[in-house]
Amino acid sequence: MDLRRGFSNLLLAGAFCLASSLIGLSSPPAQADQGTDNLLGKAFEEIENNRLDQALVHVEALLRAKPNFRLAYLIKGDLLLARGRALKTFGNPPQGPSERLDDLRAEAMARLQAYRQRPSQDQVPRYLMQMREDQRYAIVVDNKRSRLYLYQNENGRPRFVADYYISTGKRGGEKTREGDEKTPVGVYHVTASLPRKKLSDFYGSGAFPISYPNEWDKRHGRNGHGIWLHGTPSDTYSRAPRASNGCVVLANADLDALSEKLQIGLTPVIISEQVEWLSLDDWTAERDALNSEIERWRSDWEGLDTETYLTHYAKNFSADGENLSEWARHKRQVNSGKSWIKLKLSNFSMFRNPGKDELVVVTFDQDYRSSNLSNSMKKRQYWTKEGGKWRIVYEGAA
């Protein structure tokens, strides 16, 4: 049947877009059971196998469970129409606004891709280098694929739990300005929980603001605010892939499932244009390399070897309005007045910033004792690669 060809074309187009980003995603893991995507996926499979009647059974089951799922109505319409005549494309309403049809097609594409290419258990998002012991979960967002991945912290190693369809900014990712209708790309965390009763229906079952703009965003002059993870208005099950003003929007049931896992002020939310995946070996190697660099920085500082200590800082370092030479002068002066330093670092988290630049956000507890001063603080550093070596480009209190 031609409808089947329509879906195959859809798949082909999808595969084409994905070709560069797919580093071996395969086999659906058993524990991620999202009813909607499963039923939809089954319907797609039946269509591909030319069992349109069975496909309709799945779609109708889906509509009984989610009576406001617009995409499912579109597929239902096609399946019914296909009984009378051959269909050449996906989505054949005789009338209606073409943008809405395009939106539903895009949503179908996103959901279908996600169903086909589940994250493999052997690979992890490159960004989750090290989760803190008390960070139970981490969120990774793939803006292009309209997907949110939930990972659990299993002794520091991220283990895939679930993934969800999402809507993001109308104009894509890499937010820079207030009102640019883009979703930011970077390393953030959940900062608050806004309950449903404090929100209008537009935000659905709840909202979780995230920490945009972070230190790095501010340093680059990016502004805007109010980037949230939130739910969906009651008149629809889901929204188009590109629909929000920059927020990450989930179906209400999905947001509810997710909200149980979130720790306010703690759960990382890492938003990428396209997730990069690493094998566990590569992931371990990257983590170890940076860990040992951080340890060298610590021991050089503790050893009062100020000049070697300062080589860990990047040329374009800046923090609190100080550039590298100001920072160096300041550190030389402070260190020269000390006879000893004891430095203990603990509770590390390391999250790689998505994107072309080599950038890792490192956060830890620093217990600093010295001959004339002691303090404890939570510190954040941004590490970057300079001449092939990891260097600190920003440092400050977290």
Q: Which stretches of the chain bind another protein, using CB under 8 A?
A: 70-71, 73-74, 76-78, 80-81, 83-84, 91-97, 100-101, 104
Q: Where are the alpha helices (DSSP H) in the chain?
A: 2-18, 35-48, 52-65, 70-81, 98-116, 215-219, 252-259, 280-302, 306-310, 324-336
Q: Nearest distance from residue 67's CB to another protein, in Å?
A: 9
Q: Nearest distance from residue 97's CB to another protein, in Å?
A: 7
Q: Of the two residues 100 and 369, which places its CB atom closer to another protein in the complex?
A: 100
Take residue 186 and report the two structure tokens written for it: 């970077």
Q: Nearest distance from residue 64's CB to another protein, in Å?
A: 12
Q: Nearest distance from residue 163's CB to another protein, in Å?
A: 24
d(CA 216, CA 213) in angstroms, rounded, equals 8
Q: Nearest distance from residue 56's CB to another protein, in Å?
A: 10
Q: Of the two residues 104 and 140, which places its CB atom closer to another protein in the complex?
A: 104
Q: Of the two residues 74 and 253, which places its CB atom closer to another protein in the complex?
A: 74
Tell me the three state secondary structure of residue 151. strand
CB 236 within 8 A of CB 243: no
Q: Nearest distance from residue 109's CB to another protein, in Å?
A: 15
Q: Taken in order 60, 65, 67, 71, is the CA torsion positive or negative?
A: negative
Taking every pair of C-alpha atoms in the chain, what is the biggest distance, in angstroms?
A: 88
Q: Where are the alpha helices (DSSP H) in 210-279?
A: 215-219, 252-259
Take residue 237 and report the two structure tokens written for it: 């099950």
Q: Of the two residues 82 and 190, which places its CB atom closer to another protein in the complex?
A: 82
C-alpha distances out from residue 212 to 220, 222, 332, 341, 352, Å: 13, 9, 34, 35, 16
380 burial type by CB count under 10 A (0-12 exposed, 13-18 middle, 19+ buried): middle
d(CA 233, CA 15) in angstroms, rounded, equals 31
Q: Of the two residues 6 and 184, which places its CB atom closer to another protein in the complex?
A: 6
Q: Of the two residues 66 and 287, which places its CB atom closer to another protein in the complex?
A: 66
d(CA 283, CA 277) in angstroms, rounded, equals 9
Q: Nearest distance from residue 34's CB to another protein, in Å?
A: 21
Q: Nearest distance from residue 164's CB to another protein, in Å?
A: 21
Take residue 99 and report the two structure tokens written for it: 């943008």
Euclidean distance between the first and final Cα of the chain, in Å?
Answer: 59
Indicate the helix (H) or strand (E) that contains 207: strand 206-209
Q: Of the two residues 96 and 387, which places its CB atom closer to another protein in the complex?
A: 96
Q: Of the two residues 74 and 128, which places its CB atom closer to another protein in the complex?
A: 74
Q: Of the two residues 104 and 278, which places its CB atom closer to another protein in the complex?
A: 104
Q: Nearest distance from residue 201's CB to another protein, in Å?
A: 16
Q: Taken in order 115, 207, 398, 345, is the CA torsion positive or negative?
A: negative
